[in-house]
DNA sequence: TATAATAATGACTACTCGGTCATTTGTCAA
DNA sequence: TTGACAAATGACCGAGTAGTCATTATTATA
């Protein structure tokens, strides 16, 4: 599906410049050098393209950060977290621009739900990170919001001013800020009550064992014979009939973690098997 | 111009729900119970309405915060700043929602410039606030970004989750966080170099004496005889031919500061006369 | 080379948008 | 009651939209 990829890449460029609404299918097809019909052979609609685009990048973003968080010692955890996040932002700056611009502004129902879903995944990641570092501090949920605030603001600067940006330095600065807040703050805004209230008003989309198997199945079909495919097959067996040592599973997950098409399924499996340094 | 006001209010409701693009003039006129023609008698175009709306609310927002900052002792300055900001957000929640949703996402040139302009005014306000409290600390510009991050995140929560929101408590919590950062952080991200770089890439729209006089003139025409009008007339004299004591000017500014139609001109004059507690 | 299967085309439809303007309605003073 | 002026109307216009589909081009197979 080289055509799908082409469309996605070119469309992303236009979306980043102009936004979803303001970019017409016509414009996309012209920019790709294909016909309108060809577009609709690849994607059923403009909306489908947008949703596919969102999935493609958010899955990478989340799974990259997740891997980093799960495989870093506490000492450098905050630094690595920020670094990984900003790294991905810089690599996929067009997508990041698009997300910032479109933010909550989307009124398309499906799109909104998807965004919220990935948003919650990121939040969950941050929560576990904080719990690992600071335990059940009273300002746990304040720290979550604070970290998100840092990420928002500095991501905006990174993307919309062409500053000579030193991500290493930024990450060091932000992890100091986070630690300082964690150690010295005494007045939380989020009470347990309020955070429960927010949690309740969420749609929790848990991914079931069946769904994971489905995604696994599909990825197995996509790949040709390779270490990755082998690993996926073994991991499938392991889900259906758990037999192996956790070290073996960890190794199998390691095999697939950096393959672009496997990142997401690796993320899902890490969570399924409860794998991680914590 | 009751018609203009009606349109603005009703349109704001729709914009907050759906965004600028997604709201048609048709829809606005139906919601107002007027005809399309009537709409175009009040505003030359949809864009003009949007710009007018932005001016109307941002002028209030900025001048309210400015007044608070300029008239609060250092001790409670941070608290008052946050409180004033969140207060206004809560009062004009529809407008705030709109701003958050539309954020940088706007591709209309004029609109973008206006947003950036008000953005810079707010930033300038925060900078002077920080200078007053912490002097020329090395993390001055980091604090600015941090504060903006706090405002963004918690404003989002305030608006999009119907939490029982205690603004007093929130403001106390955030001012503690800000102080903690100011006192304990040692690794600034913003070097003097970077902040200069950003400053350079800005369009600085200074408001001239002439422009202030123009705005004054117009406001004088708008008002009927009243203390406010009287004060405006005296202030105009003062600009053209400065004679009075600064205490008198302060008093005159106080006279007009809370009148909705004068807030903006009061803000401009406060800056023109260099009035403030600092 | 002939045939079947697949990929790609772009004119076309049905619709929505912002904006216009000839016409009608409402409101005064004479 | 009349006439003059202002306020308000909504059918209409041109431009642009997402999506369709009969037709044509390309490729693979026999």
- A31 shares its domain with A151: no
**Measuring from the CA of residue B28 to each C1', which nucleotide is nearest?**
C18
Which tokens is B271 given?
A: 């800056």
Quick check: helix, strand or coil at residue A276?
coil
What average pLDDT is seen over chain A? 89
Distance between CA atoms of A109 and B209, rounded to whole angstroms?
Answer: 49
Distance between CA atoms of A164 and B151, rounded to whole angstroms?
Answer: 26
Q: Is there a domain that residue B277 lies in?
A: no
Half-sphere CA count of A29, side-chain side, radius 13 A: 15
What average pLDDT is seen over chain B? 89
Which protein residues have any CB–strand C distance under 7 A?
A 3, 34-38, 40-41; B 23-27, 36-37, 40, 44-47
- A9 shares its domain with A136: no
Average pLDDT estimate for B17-46: 93
Q: Which residues of A touch B152 (CB under 8 A)?
A: 149, 152-153
A42 with A3: CB under 8 angstroms? yes
Q: Does residue B137 register a pLDDT over 60?
A: yes
- Structure confidence at residue B130 (pLDDT): 96
Q: Is there a domain that residue A255 lies in?
A: yes
Q: What is the CATH number of the domain that holds B111?
A: 1.10.357
B93 with B159: CB under 8 angstroms? yes
- B160 shares its domain with B249: no
- Structure confidence at residue B66 (pLDDT): 93
Distance between CA atoms of A70 and A81, rounded to whole angstroms?
Answer: 10
**Positions on chain C within 7 A of a protein C-beta:** 7-12, 16-22
Which of these, A180, A6, A152, lies nearest to B178 by C-alpha position? A180
Q: Is residue A2 very low, low, confident or very high in pLDDT (cuts 50, 70, 90)?
A: confident
| CB within 8 Å: B153 and A152 | yes
> How many residues are given for chain B?
278
Which tokens is B168 given?
A: 């007093």
Chain B residue with the nearest C-alpha to that of A105: B101
Token pair 């936004």: residue: A19
- B9 shares its domain with B38: yes
- Structure confidence at residue B105 (pLDDT): 57
Nearest to A194 among B163, B174, B185 (CB): B163
Q: Is residue A278 very low, low, confident or very high in pLDDT (cuts 50, 70, 90)?
A: very low
Q: Does residue B128 register a pLDDT over 70?
A: yes
- A195 shares its domain with A133: yes
**Min Cα–Cα distance to chain B from A107, Å:** 6
- A55 shares its domain with A193: yes
Question: Phi/psi at A223 (nearest 5 deg)?
Answer: -80, 150
User: Of B165, B200, B235, which one is at a domain's C-terminal end?
Assistant: B200
- B167 shares its domain with B222: no
Question: CB under 8 Å to B144, separation ≥6 — which residues?
Answer: B123, B126, B127, B130
Dump the DSSP string for B137-166. Answer: -TTHHHHHHHHHHHHHHHHHHHHHS-----
- B144 shares its domain with B179: yes
- Structure confidence at residue B278 (pLDDT): 39
Question: CB under 8 Å to B63, separation ≥6 — which residues?
Answer: B257, B263, B264, B266, B267
Nearest to A173 among B142, B154, B172 (CB): B142
Q: Does residue B151 register a pLDDT over 50?
A: yes
Q: How far is CA A98 from its chain centroid?
A: 15
CA A42 – C1' C4 distance (Å)? 23
Q: Is there a domain that residue A90 lies in?
A: yes
Per DSSP, B260 falls in state: T
CA distances from A194 to A188, A199, B163, B175, B178 (A): 11, 9, 7, 20, 22
Question: CB under 8 Å to A263, separation ≥6 — which residues?
Answer: A59, A60, A63, A64, A257
Distance between CA atoms of A43 and A4, rounded to whole angstroms?
Answer: 8
- A9 shares its domain with A132: no
Which of these, B98, B121, B110, lies nearest to B205 by C-alpha position? B121
Q: Does residue B82 register a pLDDT over 70?
A: yes
Q: Does residue A160 register a pLDDT over 80?
A: yes
- pLDDT tens-digit readout, B207-242: 888 888 888 888 888 777 788 888 998 999 888 888
Half-sphere CA count of B258, side-chain side, radius 13 A: 5
- Structure confidence at residue A128 (pLDDT): 93
Average pLDDT estimate for B117-129: 93
Q: Is there a domain that residue A85 lies in?
A: yes
Q: Which residues of B touch A142 (CB under 8 A)?
A: 173, 177
| CB within 8 Å: A180 and B176 | no
- pLDDT tens-digit readout, A170-206: 999 999 999 999 999 999 999 878 888 877 777 677 7
User: Of B142, B170, B200, which one is at a domain's C-terminal end?
Assistant: B200
- B67 shares its domain with B180: yes
A102 with B105: CB under 8 angstroms? yes
**Min Cα–Cα distance to chain B from A82, Å:** 13
Tell which phi-psi region holds residue A19, choosing left (phi > 0), alpha (psi between -120 and 50) or beta: left
- A107 shares its domain with A26: no
| CB within 8 Å: B145 and A157 | yes
| CB within 8 Å: B146 and A177 | yes
Distance between CA atoms of A146 and A200, rounded to whole angstroms?
Answer: 21
CA distances from B233 to A110, B216, B249, B271 (A): 56, 8, 12, 18
User: Of B169, B200, B231, which one is at a domain's C-terminal end?
Assistant: B200
Question: Phi/psi at B277 (nearest 5 deg)?
Answer: -70, -20
Q: How far is CA A154 from its chain centroid?
A: 18
Total domains, chain A: 3
Residue range(s) defining the domain that contains residue B96: 51-200
Average pLDDT estimate for A145-153: 96
- Structure confidence at residue A143 (pLDDT): 96
- A91 shares its domain with A151: yes
Q: How far is CA A181 from its chain centroid?
A: 25
CA A213 – C1' D20 distance (Å)? 37
Q: Is there a domain that residue B55 lies in?
A: yes
- pLDDT tens-digit readout, B180-205: 999 999 999 998 788 888 777 776 77
A95 with A57: CB under 8 angstroms? yes
A201 with B164: CB under 8 angstroms? no
- pLDDT tens-digit readout, A200-211: 777 677 788 888
Cα dihedral value B261, B267, B272, B276, nearest 10: 140
Count helices and strands in chain B by DSSP H and E runs: 14, 0
Q: Is there a domain that residue A218 lies in?
A: yes
Q: What is the CATH number of the domain that holds A6?
A: 1.10.10.60
Q: Is there a domain that residue A37 lies in?
A: yes
Beta-carbon contacts below 8 Å between A and B = 123
Q: Is there a domain that residue A278 lies in?
A: no
Distance between CA atoms of B50 and B39, rounded to whole angstroms?
Answer: 13
Distance between CA atoms of B81 and B86, rounded to whole angstroms?
Answer: 9
């Amino acid at each position: 599906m080289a055509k799908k990829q082409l469309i996605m890449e070119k469309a992303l460029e236009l979306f980043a410049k102009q936004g979803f609404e303001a970019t017409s299918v016509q414009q996309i097809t012209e920019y790709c050098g294909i016909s309108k019909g060809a577009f609709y052979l690849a994607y059923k609609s403009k909306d489908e393209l947008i949703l596919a685009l969102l999935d493609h990048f958010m899955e990478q973003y989340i799974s990259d950060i997740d891997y980093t968080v799960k495989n870093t010692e506490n000492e450098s955890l905050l630094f690595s977290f920020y670094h990984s996040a900003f790294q991905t932002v810089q690599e996929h700056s067009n997508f990041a621009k698009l997300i910032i611009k479109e933010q909550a502004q989307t009124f398309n129902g499906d799109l909104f739900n998807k965004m919220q879903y990935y948003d919650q995944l990121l939040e969950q990641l941050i929560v576990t990170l904080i719990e690992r570092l600071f335990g059940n501090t009273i300002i746990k949920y304040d720290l979550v919001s604070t970290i998100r605030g840092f990420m928002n603001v500095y991501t905006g600067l990174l993307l919309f001013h062409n500053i000579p940006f030193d991500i290493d330095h930024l990450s060091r600065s932000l992890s100091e800020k986070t630690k300082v807040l964690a150690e010295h703050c005494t007045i939380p805004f989020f009470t347990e009550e309020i955070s429960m209230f927010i949690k309740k008003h969420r749609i929790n989309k848990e991914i079931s064992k069946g769904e994971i198997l489905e995604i696994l199945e599909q990825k197995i079909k996509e790949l040709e014979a390779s270490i990755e495919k082998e690993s996926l097959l073994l991991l499938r067996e392991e889900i259906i009939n758990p037999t192996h040592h956790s070290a073996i599973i960890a190794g199998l997950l390691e095999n697939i973690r950096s393959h672009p098409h496997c990142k997401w399924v690796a993320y899902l499996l890490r969570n399924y098997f409860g794998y991680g340094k914590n």
